[in-house]
Amino acid sequence: MLSGTGKMREVISPSLTTKQVYDDYQKAMEMDLWNTHYEVLSLSLSLRQRMGEQLNDLGFDELRELEENMENAVTVIRDRKV
């Protein structure tokens, strides 16, 4: 367990929950693990959609935006090859 100073300390309370451990770690490291986890999930979903997977949940506008993004990416790649 990390203390507020960033040093390791022993966990002495058997009633300490996993959430409390994560919360204490976040405070000591000054980071938001849940936000970081959400960002990773969001980016991996976006990547899968760009690979043509998990498109069923997208609406028409989202599919159109994805198509435009893919067309722009192809244009950039073609311009670089020339």
Per-residue pLDDT tens digits for 60-81: 999 999 999 999 999 999 999 8
pLDDT tens-digit readout, 50-61: 999 999 989 999
Instruction: Give the model's pLDDT for residue 23.
Output: 84
Report the predicted TM-score, pTM, of the whole model to 2 decimal places. 0.57
Token pair recorded at residue 69: 């993004």
Per-domain boundaries in the chain: 32-81
Query: Taking a C-beta distance cutoff of 8 angstroms, is the pair 1, 11 a contact?
Result: yes
